[in-house]
Amino acid sequence: MTASPPTAQVAGLTALPPRTVEFRGARGGQAALTWGQQGIWRSTRWLDDGDPYFNLPWTLPVTGDAGLDAVLRAVGRLVERHETLRTAFVPGGEDGRSTVQRVSREGRLTVGVYEAAAKPMSAARALAAELAATGFDYAAELPIRCAVVCRRGKPRALALALSHLALDGWSLSMVAEEWPRLVAGEDLPGPDWQPLDQAAFEASDPPPGGQALRHWRNALASAPRSMFDFPAREPEEPRFVRHGMESPSAAVAAQALAARHGVTTSSVLTVACAALLGAVTGHDTAAMQLIVSNRHHQGTEAMAGPAAQDGLCVVDLGDGTFADALPGGHRSTMATYRNGHYDPALVLAAWQAEAWRRGADIDLDAFFNDVRRAGRWQGLPPVDARDAGALAALRDRTRTFFVGAYPAVKAKIFFATGPAASTCEFYVLVDTAFLPSDVAVRMLTGLEELLVLAVAEEVPLDHVAKIAGLDPVRRPAGWTEIGRDWVSLPETEALLRRVCGTGAAAVALDEGEGPARLTGYLVARPGLDTPEAVHTAFMRAAAGRTDVLAPHHYVLCAEPPADPGGWPGLPRLTEGGGREPSPLNEPLGKVT
Amino acid sequence: MRERVAELVSKASGGDLVTADILAADCTLPALGLTSIAYLRLIDLLEVEFDCELDLDGGHLDTLDGLVEHIAEQRK
């Protein structure tokens, strides 16, 4: 297996002849994708081949007197140590159609060599961005490109582009710690857990992840079917917009709140994001997928390779204050992090089964990712958060900035911390088909405002939108709340009419005793003559929509009523929920 | 068992927290300085040590005494 970096053109850098590094690791092999690899792989499938969105530009310094040969040896040792850097993703498996990981035992890596006119680290960062600007060929290319940047002939930095399929943030930190020791020629003990080992563990009998699957089922049942159940808008171009913030005051405030309420800063940030999202979208229960690093398990702590998976966190905000929501939000957050290691196929089946039962796609496109090392800040400004004046003064140091805009991202909102240790580095990405791009900025400044204010006083959750300067979405007449879901009744009825083909259908809202329910009335026709057939057709037609909900009960009649309100009094051919049997439930039987 | 659980809390924290302080503390484990990942490491250690399954969806497991009670319940 080989790799060559594309020719990079960066101002201030002169290309010297590239070098070839030959490597030979301890083993090669092939296995199913680990559950962590599956997560990233599935995300890459959302993009066109060659899209560089999941590439990681990265720079490592070279200190001391190491010469070019020593740096190239260190690069070779790095690739030999970590099988993930020798892994291709190729078609395979029993059916030949799934994707498997294939570790090459040996191969060659072409390493660019450049001379910098000045500032080699800055030049290396620009070079790394250039190397990462081209997508990887996951099946044929090593997931690493690199080049050595020299100053007056001495190596000063290594510019890298890495595939996210090979490394995640945790792995990058591991490599960063190993790098100077490898350059110094130290003989490090080999890692004893690699993605091939992880794949074998995940295929063990009985499989791990039973408790995580139960967590997912419970969370799916209690989550709103979408946080974005309101009318979509004309998207901006490009559609997905990301803004960032650096706020030492938000970090100091979050830390003070965490200490006061006996929770973690990660939980404080998660609940704050849930509160902001709930305030904008009109929900008092927020569902977000947390990116779970899965590094507390035996073995994975020292594994280079993607281990992260998405975990479903449902935060019941209630109708009290922000402080009231913290203890429960913390428990939900911890339970989510605890239950982030699971077989994606089984969770997908549970997800589809819940959609079938609920009568709508379950859209979980709200994300939160805390990438801070060990989940905390270190070295925050020594400001007493109880000193309102000092905290206010710290806010002068806040800055917000535009990060980028993208044509396609699999998220409607994405909250994320940055790795900065001495400030709250925070990012919000929004899908402008649902929220205007300035909401991302207001979410950031609103996060700071909410946290700082919550240190000084109780903040009722129904004040959060106003505090943050956010306009709650407006739902036109005809929208109603059914359980945790907002539903457009006119659109639901229009879809049922379209499904039944004849246009003879109606949807009625029953708000009597017990939870509100929808009843769908329609005229039966061949092929659409059972509640199950109607439910199947409705679910197919409603795919991807966040405004409609399948009726809880279907009533099939022989002919329409003389007047539109006459459906309930008509003779009924058959009726029922249409949910049984659910073929999608079958895979759940595998886990005990 | 309380002392053993406190020892495991200390181990999960990588030694950042001392057993005596954990036993004497009158606050939650996060308030004592236990990070999220150390807490998750702790749950793994407790499950292996006491051969039980701890369900974080279920209750208040963020204090030493809460954990001890929950483990005792699980082992009945």
Long-range residue pairs from A488-494, CB within 8 A, at least 24 positions apart, any chain:
A488/A231, A488/A547, A488/A548, A489/A518, A491/A545, A491/A547, A491/A548, A492/A518, A492/A547, A492/A548, A492/A549, A492/A550, A492/A551
Is residue A592 one of the residues assigned to a domain?
no
Asked if the model's pLDDT at residue A377 lies above 80, the reply is yes
A218, A291, A296: best mutation site toward chain B, by most B Cβ within 10 Å?
A: A296
Sheet of strand A98-103, all strands in order from the earlier edge strand to the far edge: A29-32, A98-103, A87-92
C-alpha–C-alpha distance, residues A290 and A222, integer Å = 16
* Amino acid B26: pLDDT: 84
In the numeric block, the tokens 């700082």 are attached to: A452
In this prediction, residue A591 carries a pLDDT of 34
Given an 8 Å threshold on Cβ–Cβ distance, is B44 in contact with A297? yes
Q: How far is B51 from chain A (nearest CA, A)?
A: 15
B 17-46 residues with CB < 8 A to A: 27-28, 30-31, 35-41, 43-44
**How close is the nearest chain A Cα to the Cα of B63, in Å?**
9
Determine, for residues A376 and B35 on separate chains, whether the beta-carbon distance falls below 8 Å: yes
Nearest residue on chain B to A337, judged by CA atoms? B40
CATH of the domain at A12: 3.30.559.10
The C-alpha atoms of residue A302 and residue A26 are separated, in whole angstroms, by 17
Closest C-alpha to A134, from A53, A18, A222, A220: A53
Residue A85 tokens, joined: 């850097």
Considering the domain architecture, whether residues A318 and A429 belong to the same structural domain is answered as yes
Q: Average of pLDDT values for A415-424?
A: 95
Q: What's the confidence (pLDDT) of residue A6?
A: 53
Q: What are phi and psi of A33, to 5 degrees?
A: -65, 140
Question: Among the three residues A182, A202, A222, which one is the final residue of a domain in this structure?
Answer: A202
The residue-averaged pLDDT of A139-163 equals 96
Let me know the angle formed at the C-alpha of A234 by A231 and A237, rounded to the nearest 5 degrees: 140
pLDDT higher than threshold 50 for residue A586: no
> How far apart are alpha carbons A102 and A29 in whole angstroms?
6
User: A153 and A106: one domain?
Assistant: yes
| pLDDT of the residue at A374 | 76
DSSP A447-514: HHHHHHHHHHS--BGGGHHHHHTPPPP---TTEEEETTEEEEHHHHHHHHHHHHSSS-EEEEEE-SSS
pLDDT at A587 over 60: no
DSSP string, A155-172: EEEEEEEEETTT--HHHH
Model confidence at A8: pLDDT above 70: no
Domain range enclosing B65: 2-74
Whether the pLDDT of residue A238 is over 90: the answer is: yes
pLDDT in tens, A402-415: 999 999 888 999 99
Query: pLDDT tens digits, residue range A268-280?
Result: 999 999 999 999 9
The last residue of a domain, from among A468, A490, A515: A468
Domain count, chain B: 1
Closest CA to A104 of A116, A90, A118, A92: A90
CA distance A580 to B54: 33
Average pLDDT rounded to a whole number, residues A122-138: 95
Q: Is residue A473 assigned to a domain?
A: no
pLDDT digits (tens, 9 = 90+) for A528-552: 999 999 999 999 999 999 999 999 9
pLDDT at A585: 43
Same domain flag for A82 and A150 = yes
Same domain, A247 and A172: no
Ordered strands of the A574-576 beta sheet: A505-510, A517-523, A553-557, A574-576
**Would you state the pLDDT for residue A589?**
33
Above 0.85 for ipTM, yes or no?
Answer: no
Together in a domain, A234 and A170? no
- A158 within a domain of the structure (yes/no): yes
Residues A454 and A512 in one domain: no
The reply to whether residue A335 touches residue B27, judged by beta carbons under 8 angstroms, is no
Across the interface, do B62 and A331 touch by the CB < 8 Å criterion? yes
Is residue A577 assigned to a domain? yes
Task: Clarify whether residues A405 and A545 are in a common domain.
Answer: no
Q: Looking at the predicted structure, is the pLDDT value of residue A448 above 50?
A: yes
Look at residues A468, A495, A516 and tell me which one is the last residue of a structural domain. A468
Mean pLDDT for the stretch of residues A6-14: 77
Q: What percent of chain A has pLDDT over 70?
A: 96
Here the tokens at position B9 are: 């809390």
Nearest CA to A489 out of A431, A443, A551 is that of A551
- The string of pLDDT tens digits covering residues A54-89 is 899 999 999 989 999 999 999 999 999 999 999 999
CA distance A349 to A315: 23
Look at A339 and B56 and tell me if their CB atoms are within 8 Å: yes
CA distance B53 to chain A (A): 9
Please give the residue that has the higher pLDDT: either A513 or A497: A497
Strand A479-482 and strand A485-488: the pairing is: antiparallel
Q: How many CB atoms lie within 10 A of CB B51?
A: 10
At A81 the pLDDT is 96
- Determine the Cα–Cα distance for residues A340 and A215; give it in Å rounded to an integer: 9
C-alpha–C-alpha distance, residues A484 and A316, integer Å: 11
DSSP state of A525: B
B28: CATH: 1.10.1200.10
In a domain, A554, yes or no: yes
State whether A281 and A418 are in the same domain: yes
Q: Which domain does A566 fall in, by range? A: 479-587
Chain B contact present for A338, CB below 8 A: yes
Q: Average pLDDT in the A15-41 region?
A: 96
Residues A195 and A241 in one domain: no
The chain-wide mean pLDDT, for chain A, equals: 93
Q: What is the CATH number of the domain that holds A268?
A: 3.30.559.30
Point out the least confidently predicted range of A24-33, A362-371, A513-522, B43-52. Answer: B43-52
Per-residue pLDDT of chain B (76 residues; tens, 9 = 90+): 899 999 999 999 888 899 999 999 888 888 888 888 888 889 989 988 998 888 777 666 888 998 998 888 877 7
Residue A512 has which token pair? 């009597």
> Is residue A339, in this structure, part of any structural domain at all?
yes
Kindly report the CATH number assigned to the domain that includes residue A566: 3.30.300.30
Residues in CB range of A422: below 8 A, 6 or more apart = A248, A251, A377, A378, A379, A380, A381
If asked whether residues A101 and A235 sit together in one domain, one would say: no
State the pLDDT at residue A590: 33
Verify that A462 and A484 share a domain, yes or no: no
Position A156 pLDDT exceeds 70: yes
DSSP A314-344: EEE-TTSBHHHHHHHHHHHHHHHHHT----H
d(C-alpha A26, C-alpha A191), whole Å: 11
Which residues of chain B have a CB within 8 Å of the CB of A329? none
In our burial notation (b when 16+ CB lie closer than 10 A, e otherwise), range A229-252 reads bbeeeeeeeebbbbbbbbbbbbbb
Residues A287-320 as b or e (16 or more Cβ within 10 Å = b): bbbbbbbbbbbeebbebbbbbbbbbbbbbebeee
The closest of A540, A517, A486 to A225, measured between CA atoms, is A486
Structure confidence at residue A95 (pLDDT) = 75
Cβ of A298 and B37 within 8 Å?
no
Q: At A520, which amino acid appears?
A: G
Write the residue in A262, A263, A335 that is nearest to B57 by C-beta: A335
pLDDT in tens, A282-318: 999 999 999 999 988 767 888 999 999 999 999 999 9
- The structure tokens listed for A351 are 């997800």
* pLDDT at residue A335, as a whole number: 94
Smallest CA-to-CA distance from B6 within B74, B66, B75, B73 is with B66
Higher local confidence (pLDDT), A469 or A44? A469
Among A28-37, A292-301, A416-425, A583-592, whose mean pLDDT is lowest? A583-592
| A71 found inside a domain | yes
Contacts of A211 in chain B (CB under 8 A): 53, 55
CB contact under 8 A, B57 and A218: yes
| Contact assessment for residue A367 and residue A288, using Cβ atoms and an 8 Å cutoff | yes
Q: A451 and A486 in one domain?
A: no
Residue A505 pLDDT > 60, yes or no? yes
Q: Hey, what are A1's tokens?
A: 């297996």
Q: Is residue A354 part of a domain?
A: yes
> Alpha-carbon distance A210 to A342, whole Å?
8
Nearest to A259 among B31, B55, B56 (CB): B31
Please say whether the beta carbons of A279 and A449 come within 8 A. no
Structural domains in chain A (count): 3
